[in-house]
Structure 1
Amino acid sequence: MLRDMNMNALRHFEAVARRGRVSKAAEELRVTTSAVSQQIRLLEQQFGVLLFRRENRRLIPTEEGERLYIATSQAFRMVAEVHSAIVRQRQMRQFIMRVSPSFGVRWLGPRVKSFLDQNPDWSVRVDATPEFTDFETEIVDLDLRYGSDPRSGMHEVCVMQDFILPMCSPAYLETLRAFSDDPMEQLCHAQLIDSVKTFYRWDVWLNQRGGATVPSVYALRFDRSSMAIQLAADGAGVTLESAVLAWRELATGALVPLSDRLDVIEFSGYHVVCPPRHTNRRIVRLFTEWMLEEGGRHEAEVRTYLTDRGCPIVLEGGPAQDWGGGEGPARPMPHDAQ
C-alpha cells in the first residue's frame, strides 16, 4: 500500500491543509495553483473520500482530511529533523584524540570546553586510555602522552612541563611533624602511597636522594594517579605525584607539599604525538596551539604556587629506564593506566 502512495500529492495536501488556500500552498511549493488542485483531486480519488470542504473562501480539512493532515505533518517534520541532523553531521568535522585517563578527567575535561568554543565546527571524540595509538591501523588524529620517546619516529611537541613532589593533607603533615622536623625522617614514619604506573615512583625518588629506607612492599598501591591523589587528600598517607594532576587539591589546600626542603622534579611532561604526516591536518595544528596556550598558562600557575612556598625546582629529563621491555622500539610509559 505504501509503495502506491503518491508522496508528491501528500506534500501538496499537507501544504494546503496547513495554509488553508491553494494559492498559498502553490506559492510555498513554487508550482501553479492548477498543479496543486490536480494533486489534491488525485489524492481524493486514491482515498475515495473528500479531504477538504470550502468554508469562507478557505479549505478546511474534513474529518478524514484532518486525520491525514496530522499523520503527514508529523511524518514530514520527522523527516526534516533527520535531514537536518544528517546534514549537520556531514558538515561537522571530526577530531579524535587519545589521552591518559587521569589527565583526561582531571586536566583536559575541565578545560576542553574552551577548545570547543573556539572550534564549534568540529566534533570531538576523546578516548581516555593508557594504550598508545597504532596510527597505521587506527583512525586517530593525535595522542596526548606523558613523557617523550624521541626514538619512535613520531612528531612530538611538549605542551606542558610537569612537577613531581611528595604531598599529603595538612592534617597528615602535622602527624609527621610530631616525629621529626626532617622531611626524610618523616617519610620513614609515613604511609607511602605508591602510584605504580608513574615515571617517578618512591623507590626511584628515594634512591636518588639517598634518604629513607625504601620499603620492599607498599601497603597502598594504585595504577591510577587520580586514586592516589584522592587518597592522600583524604589523609591516608603521602603520595609522590604530579602537581599538574593534583592542582585542584593543591589550590584548595586539600594537599600541601611535604616540605620546602625537598626538590620538586620538573621535566618535559605532556606531549602532543602524531605521525609527521598528521601535522598537515588543520585540527592537529589548532589543538597543539591551544594546548601550548592552556598548558603554558597552567604551568606558570603551578610554578608560581611552588615558588611562593619556597619549594626548590630542579629540572630533570626523567629517569633513565628501559621502557621497551624487550626487542623493538622503546615506548614511554603512560602516566597512569586508568
Structure 2
Amino acid sequence: MLKDINLNAMNYFEAVARLGGISKAAEELGVSPSAVSQQIRQFEQQFGVRLFKRDKRKLTLTLDGERLFQTTTQAFRMMRDVRSAIQRQRENRHFNLRVSPSFAVRWLSPRLKEFLDLAPNWAVRIDAAPDFSDFETEVVDLDLRYGEGGWTGLHEEAVVHDLVLPMCSPGYLEELRALSDDPIGQLRQARLIDSVKTHYRWDFWLARHGVMGERMVYPLRFDRSSMALQLAADGAGVVLESSTLALDQLESGALVPLSTAFEAIRFPAYWLVCPSRHTSRRIVRIFSDWMREAGRVHDARAAELITGLGCRIREQSGRQLPGEEYVGE
C-alpha cells in the first residue's frame, strides 16, 4: 500500500537517479550528501533489493532501480506539472468589472473592501466608464450598469434601487424660501443643475409636476452626477438626482430635499449584466451574491432616510421616454 512507502526516501531516490549522483541530488534538495545516502539505504531496505550499483564513486541503476525510477520520475513529473498549473491558475485569477463612474466613486468604492475580503486571492480590475461593455470583443466579466433593464441577449438582475428627488443645500433652500413660500414658486426662481445622463431629467420631472415657465432653464449641465451633486451641496442650485449617490450628503445635512411636497421616485437603477455563460464563473457568483446583500442593506437605509426626512416614496417602473438609452451614471 502507498502508506507503506517512504515518500521522502522516494523523493531522494528520484533525485539521485535523475541527476546521476548523490552530491547533485543533495544540492537540489538542500540537504547534506550523508542524509541522501541514508535515505537511499533505507529505501533499498524497504524494497529488499539493490537499486544502485556502486562502483567507487559512480552510481548506476540496477534493473529493479531502473524500473522504479521510470515510475517515480513519471509520477514526480506529473506532480510538478500539476503544481505549475495550479500556480498559473492562481496567478491568472482576474476579475474585470465595468461600472458607471459616479456610482463607482460614491457607492462602490467605500464598500469595496467588504468584497475584497471575500475574494482575497483575486486580482480585481474596475473600469469606471460610462459606456456599456461589448462582451464579445472586450475582456469584461460583469457590468454594473445604470439604466432600466431590457438588454437583449444578456443576463440582467437589478441589485440597487434609486430614489430620485430635487435636492439643494440648506443655505440655498433658505434663499428660495425668502423668495416664495410655494415649492413650485421656489423652483421657478431656482437655478437648476442638470445631470444629463440620469434616468430622470428636469424636463420630464417638471412636466409631470406641472412646473412650467419662461425661467425654467438649465444653465448648469454635467455628464457626471458626482459633479452635479457637489455643486448643489456648495449652494449653486437645485439638482434632481440620486439619493443613492447623495446618501452621505443627505445624512450629514449637506443636502436636503427641496420640499416634502415632492415625492421621491423609486425605481430599479443599477443592474448586474453579463452574458448568461458568465454566471457560472466563480468570481461572478461571489460578486453577485455580495452585491445582492449590499444592495438590500442600502435600499433599506435609503428608504428609511428619505421617509425620515418627511418625503413620500412613489414606485416607478417602465421607461422614462420611449426609445431612450441611459448610460454612465
- Scaled to the shorter chain, the TM-score interval is 0.7 to 0.9
Q: CA deviation at 1:101?
A: 0.3
Which residue type is aligned with residue 30 of structure 1? V
Q: Is the 8 A contact 2:166 2:241 kept in 1?
A: yes
Q: CA deviation at 1:34?
A: 12
Question: For residue 50 of structure 1, what is the aligned residue in structure 2?
Answer: none
Question: For residue 32 of structure 1, what is the aligned residue in structure 2?
Answer: 33
Question: For residue 278 of structure 1, what is the aligned residue in structure 2?
Answer: 278
Q: Is the 8 A contact 2:165 2:241 kept in 1?
A: yes
Does 2:179 correspond to 1:186? no
Provide Cα deviations, 1:224-263, integer angstroms capped at 9, x if missing partner: 1000000000000000000000111111110001111101
Which consecutive unaligned segments of at least 5 residues does structure 2 have?
1-22, 37-85
Provide Cα deviations, 1:90-137, integer angstroms capped at 9, x if missing partner: 445111110000000110011010000111121111000011111111
Question: For residue 326 of structure 2, what is the aligned residue in structure 1?
Answer: 333
Which residue type is aligned with residue 203 of structure 1? D
Does 2:243 correspond to 1:250? no
User: Alpha carbons of 1:104 and 1:34: their partners in 2 closer, same or farther (altered >3 Å)?
Assistant: closer
Provide Cα deviations, 1:8-65, integer angstroms capped at 9, x if missing partner: xxxxxxxxxxxxxx9xx86961351699xxxxxxxxxxxxxxxxxxxxxxxxxxxxxx
- Using the alignment, how far apart are the partners of 2:163 and 2:127 within structure 1? 25
User: Match of 2:156, SS?
Assistant: strand
- Using the alignment, how far apart are the partners of 1:291 and 1:127 within structure 2? 17
Q: CA deviation at 1:319?
A: 4.0
Which residue type is aligned with residue 32 of structure 1? P
Which stretches of structure 1, 4 residues or longer, exceed 3 Å deviation after superposition? 25-28, 86-92, 214-217
- Using the alignment, how far apart are the partners of 1:87 and 1:319 within structure 2? 48
Does 2:256 correspond to 1:263? no
Question: For residue 320 of structure 1, what is the aligned residue in structure 2?
Answer: 320
Q: Is the 8 A contact 2:142 2:272 kept in 1?
A: yes
- TM normalised by structure 1 equals 0.71
- Using the alignment, how far apart are the partners of 2:318 and 2:102 within structure 1? 19
User: CA RMSD, aligned part only?
Assistant: 2.5
Question: For residue 17 of structure 1, what is the aligned residue in structure 2?
Answer: none
- Using the alignment, how far apart are the partners of 2:235 and 2:320 within structure 1? 32
Aligned length: 257
Q: CA deviation at 1:178?
A: 0.8
Does 2:311 correspond to 1:311? yes
- 1:1-338 to structure 2, matched below 5 A, reads 29-32=30-33, 87=87, 90-91=90-91, 93-213=93-213, 217-323=217-323, 332-336=325-329
- Using the alignment, how far apart are the partners of 2:272 and 2:216 within structure 1? 36
- TM normalised by structure 2 equals 0.73
Which residue type is aligned with residue 152 of structure 1? T
- Using the alignment, how far apart are the partners of 1:250 and 1:240 within structure 2? 13
Q: Is the 8 A contact 1:184 1:212 kept in 2?
A: no
- Using the alignment, how far apart are the partners of 1:318 and 1:226 within structure 2? 25
Q: Is the 8 A contact 1:185 1:212 kept in 2?
A: no
User: Alpha carbons of 1:223 and 1:175: their partners in 2 closer, same or farther (altered >3 Å)?
Assistant: same
Provide Cα deviations, 1:297-317, integer angstroms capped at 9, x if missing partner: 111111001111220111111
- Using the alignment, how far apart are the partners of 1:168 and 1:153 within structure 2? 40
- Using the alignment, how far apart are the partners of 2:323 and 2:114 within structure 1? 34
- Using the alignment, how far apart are the partners of 1:273 and 1:147 within structure 2? 11
User: Alpha carbons of 1:151 and 1:134: their partners in 2 closer, same or farther (altered >3 Å)?
Assistant: closer
